């Protein structure tokens, strides 16, 4: 793989919360940044809130108000990144380089106005470009922006600093976006629950998107979408070691690595599970044209994030529709459906929060027969009951009981020969 030193003139480095969890870590990261700069590479930095700050702020908000206003929530949460950006800039000064910290709004991160899930619509990084031109290191607060419509501060959703970093890298024309985390790269499963997970040399944008959607927490999904659109290489690596991490690249670039013998042709890139979804069944839906449209229109009014959708065989002119959705959207979706129940005419809604989704992802599935058979056999032998199934071209997912998810994941990981001889190192972080 082309190492950064070989082709990079401008790099954006993003440091996650566990990499800047305390004063010592902030100084260590500052040394790393200054080292990069002094090796002759222009560097701009994006930083997350220290350690579990965001979760702590969320907990605190809950204690003050059960359903805080989105605007105030974003004001609160963006404070986390303001703390780390200023501290990091100070530490960089002490290492002998000039640094300037910026909030998302100061740095021209323009977003939609939806609080807690804003999308970046434009980046106008003039001030950061000027800082670079004046030989200073810009340090940008991750996960936040400002809406040009409402003039209010927004956040991009949990884990959004990755997206900030890729958007900034694209806007500055960086050669690579380095995402620093507390493990050595992207693994075939979360090393926190599968210690025998193997590190991937490279993975395609498409596979990474599927992994992120399947619950792999290593990269924010929008960040991967953004990088794919811009064909921007991402290098996921640890801020605690100097090891080469995992490259996230186009499928052409990955094929080139395979051709050059720098990695084996991958069939499966990973197994992930997601505990954040809930299952909702709309029972006794009249089996006639337009009913599904009405149901999904109602759900869409609350902006719920849907995943799987299954309609059962109908009996006596009625059918059931089961769907999975983000657990945090479930209450709102159910309330909207109950209100529409008399008009739509279904008989009941069943709610099941105790589910997990277990997914197998790999571009090689397209070419290799028997992948589904191995997957379902592994689940069967682990005694896992499958409640729903859905697939894409490069993914198979099942819904099972939440408590079975770790066992299911480990069983599938072993069945595909993904277990490594080494134990993956988790350097820091609570994985919260």
Dmax over Cα atoms in the chain, in whole Å? 77
Q: Answer whether 372's CB lies under 8 Å from 382's CB.
A: no
Min dist. Cβ of residue 159 to ligand ASP (A): 5
Q: Which does 127 bind (CB under 5 to 8 A by kind): ligand ASP, Mg ion, none?
A: none
Q: Quote the strand ranges of 134-186, DSSP E.
A: 137-141, 144-146, 153-155, 176-181
Which residue has the CB atom at the shortest distance from Mg ion? 17
359: contact with Mg ion by CB under 5 A: no
Q: Which is nearer to Mg ion, 25 or 48 (CB)?
A: 48
The answer to whether the Cα torsion of 210, 215, 216, 222 is positive or negative is positive
Angle at 206 between CA 384 and CA 8, to 5 degrees: 130
Min dist. Cβ of residue 305 to ligand ASP (A): 16
Which residue has the CB atom at the shortest distance from ligand ASP? 161
Q: Which of residues 290-309 bind Mg ion (CB under 5 A)?
A: none
Q: How far is CA 355 from CA 27, 165, 306, 367, 404, in A?
A: 42, 33, 15, 31, 9
Q: Left, alpha or beta for 104 (phi > 0: left; psi -120 to 50: alpha)?
A: alpha
Q: Which is nearer to ligand ASP, 146 or 321 (CB)?
A: 146
Q: Which of residues 24-53 bind Mg ion (CB under 5 A)?
A: 48
SS3 88: helix
Cβ within 8 Å of residue 204, ≥6 positions away? 248, 249, 250, 251, 254, 269, 363
Q: Which is nearer to ligand ASP, 160 or 270 (CB)?
A: 160
Q: State both tokens at 311.
A: 């309609």
Q: Which is nearer to Mg ion, 196 or 220 (CB)?
A: 220
Min dist. Cβ of residue 42 to Mg ion (A): 26
Q: Which is nearer to ligand ASP, 54 or 409 (CB)?
A: 54
Min dist. Cβ of residue 147 to ligand ASP (A): 18
Q: Answer whether 280's CB lies under 8 Å from 295's CB.
A: no
Q: Which does 158 bind (CB under 5 to 8 A by kind): ligand ASP, Mg ion, none?
A: ligand ASP
Q: Which is nearer to Mg ion, 4 or 160 (CB)?
A: 160
Q: Which does 205 bind (CB under 5 to 8 A by kind): ligand ASP, Mg ion, none?
A: none
> Using N-to-C axis directions, what is the helix angle for 221-230 and 161-172, rounded to 10°?
20
Q: Which of 17, 160, 185, 191 binds Mg ion (CB under 5 A)?
A: 17
Per the listing, tokens 């003050």 go with 64
Min dist. Cβ of residue 149 to ligand ASP (A): 23
What stretch of H or E contains 244?
none
Min dist. Cβ of residue 91 to ligand ASP (A): 19
238: contact with Mg ion by CB under 5 A: no
Q: Which is nearer to ligand ASP, 85 or 132 (CB)?
A: 85
Min dist. Cβ of residue 161 to Mg ion (A): 7
Q: Which is nearer to Mg ion, 226 or 346 (CB)?
A: 226
Instruction: Please tell me the count of residues contacting Mg ion according to CB under 5 A.
Output: 2
Q: Which does 160 bind (CB under 5 to 8 A by kind): Mg ion, ligand ASP, none?
A: ligand ASP
Min dist. Cβ of residue 235 to ligand ASP (A): 17
Q: Answer whether 211's CB lies under 8 Å from 225's CB.
A: no
Residue 79 CA, chain-centre distance (Å), reads 21
Q: Which is nearer to ligand ASP, 4 or 16 (CB)?
A: 16
SS3 341: helix
Q: Answer whether 325's CB lies under 8 Å from 306's CB.
A: yes
Q: Which does 270 bind (CB under 5 to 8 A by kind): ligand ASP, Mg ion, none?
A: none
Q: Answer whether 354's CB lies under 8 Å from 325's CB.
A: no
CA count, 13 A, side-chain hemisphere, 355: 27
Min dist. Cβ of residue 143 to Mg ion (A): 8
Pairing of strands 109-111, 318-326: unpaired
269: contact with Mg ion by CB under 5 A: no
SS3 191: coil
Which one-letter DSSP state was computed for residue 264?
P
Min dist. Cβ of residue 430 to ligand ASP (A): 12
Applying CB under 6 A, the residues found at the interface with ligand ASP are 16-17, 48-49, 54, 80, 142-143, 158-161
Q: Which is nearer to Mg ion, 160 or 266 (CB)?
A: 160
Q: Which does 142 bind (CB under 5 to 8 A by kind): Mg ion, ligand ASP, none?
A: ligand ASP
Binding site for Mg ion (CB under 5 A): 17, 48
């Amino acid at each position: 793989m082309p190492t950064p030193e070989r082709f990079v003139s401008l790099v954006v480095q993003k440091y996650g919360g566990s990499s800047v969890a305390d004063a010592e870590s902030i100084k260590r990261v500052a040394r790393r940044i200054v080292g990069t700069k002094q090796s002759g590479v222009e560097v701009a930095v994006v930083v997350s809130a220290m350690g579990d700050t965001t979760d702590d702020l969320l907990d605190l908000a809950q204690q003050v108000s059960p359903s805080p206003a989105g605007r105030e929530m974003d004001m609160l949460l963006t404070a986390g990144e303001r703390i780390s950006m200023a501290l990091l800039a100070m530490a960089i000064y002490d290492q002998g380089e000039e640094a300037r910290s910026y909030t998302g709004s100061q740095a021209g991160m323009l977003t939609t106005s939806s609080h807690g899930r804003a999308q970046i619509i434009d980046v106008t990084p003039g001030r950061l470009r000027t800082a670079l031109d004046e030989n200073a290191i810009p340090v940008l607060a991750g996960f936040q922006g400002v809406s040009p419509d409402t003039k209010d501060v927004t956040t991009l959703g949990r884990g959004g600093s990755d997206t900030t970093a890729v958007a900034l890298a694209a806007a500055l024309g960086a050669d690579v976006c380095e995402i620093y985390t507390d493990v050595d790269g992207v693994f075939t499963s979360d090393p926190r629950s599968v210690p025998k997970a193997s590190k991937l040399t490279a993975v395609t944008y498409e596979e990474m998107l599927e992994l992120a959607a399947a619950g792999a927490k290593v990269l924010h999904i929008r960040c991967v979408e953004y990088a794919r659109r811009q064909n921007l290489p991402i290098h996921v690596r640890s801020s605690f070691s100097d090891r080469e991490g995992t490259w996230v690249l186009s499928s052409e670039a990955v094929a080139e690595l395979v051709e050059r013998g720098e990695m084996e042709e991958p069939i499966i890139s990973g197994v992930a599970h997601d505990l954040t979804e809930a299952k909702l069944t709309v029972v006794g839906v009249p089996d006639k044209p337009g009913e599904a449209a009405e149901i999904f229109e109602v759900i869409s009014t609350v902006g719920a994030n849907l995943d799987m959708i299954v309609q059962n065989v109908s009996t006596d002119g009625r059918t059931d529709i089961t769907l999975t959705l983000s657990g945090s959207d479930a209450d709102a979706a159910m309330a909207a459906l109950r209100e529409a129940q008399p008009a739509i005419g279904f008989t009941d809604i069943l709610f099941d929060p105790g589910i997990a989704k277990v997914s197998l992802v790999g571009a090689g599935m397209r070419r290799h027969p028997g992948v589904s058979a191995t997957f379902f056999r592994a689940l069967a032998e682990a005694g896992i009951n499958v409640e729903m199934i859905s697939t894409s071209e490069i993914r198979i997912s099942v819904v099972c009981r939440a408590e079975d998810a770790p066992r299911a994941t480990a069983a599938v990981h072993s069945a595909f020969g993904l277990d490594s001889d080494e134990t993956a190192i988790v350097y820091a972080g609570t994985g919260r």
